[in-house]
Amino acid sequence: MLDDASQDTVSNGDVPLLSCQDLVLGYPTPSGWKEVVHRVSFSIRKGETVALVGESGSGKSTIAKALVKLIPVRGGSVRFGGEEVAALGTSAFRPFRKKIQLVFQDPWHALNPRLTAGQLLAEPLLLHAGGLRGPALSSSIDNLLESVRLSPDLRRRYPSQLSGGQRQRLLLARALAVEPELLVCDEPVSALDVSIQAQLLELLGELKRSRALTLLFISHDLAVVQQVADQVLVLQDGKAVEWKSSRELFRNPEHPYTRTLLEACPVW
């Protein structure tokens, strides 16, 4: 039933920005291969926000890592803009690395503590826009900071000198530095206070509109998902169990696991 539903996202003839079909992912272990994502299919149209939801261990973050080549795809297909990217090596995938950026949950582990905010933003700018130097580079860094509502004065601070919300915004600015088409947001607000969560979600909405971004939003918080998602894919133990528009999912959940998630975290 779910595979038929996932095909509905492309039934109008549009080529999705991202399409995953029968995705199989896992990790090597001392006793052999451990499969953690089992033949999951979904797609995202340009400009959409698709949410992956489920409990810890359901495979959400594993999918996020696979999309940016942090782990290999064991089976199935991943297409970006109609091009197959699952089997591409590091060099061949490099043009797509600009287009797909991952915003990690934990800035502490994602940001080099030895670099200032300005240096952290300069890295992707120099790597992907190598012609930037001097005043042009400095101006681009300031613009990135301002785009995520951070003062350019913070460019000389280290991550340890920033608040949790500021570090998460810096991580977001770093992802935006290469002007991606797709942002994969892996639990980007889960570690933040409720008021800071609301500010960051509002910022994501503004950036999505102003930069024509497409979002894959990963969360276990259904209240957050209800605010941001156009489509929702529910994962249980690495398997896709329900795929619906956000409005329909919250109004009429069909799978028992989805109903259990909603009952555990009321959103109405």
What CATH architecture is 1-99+182-192+214-268? 3-Layer(aba) Sandwich (3.40)
- The ranges assigned to domains in the chain are 1-99+182-192+214-268, 107-179
pLDDT band at 24 (very low <50, low <70, confident <90, very high): very high
The larger pLDDT score, comparing residue 127 to residue 158, is at: 158
pLDDT in tens, 225-264: 999 999 999 999 999 999 999 999 999 999 999 999 998 8
Length of the chain: 268
pLDDT in tens, 160-194: 999 989 999 999 999 999 999 999 999 888 767 78
* Closest-CA residue to 72 (of 54, 59, 81, 85): 85
pLDDT in tens, 63-109: 999 999 999 999 999 999 999 999 998 889 988 999 999 998 888 88
pTM of this structure: 0.88
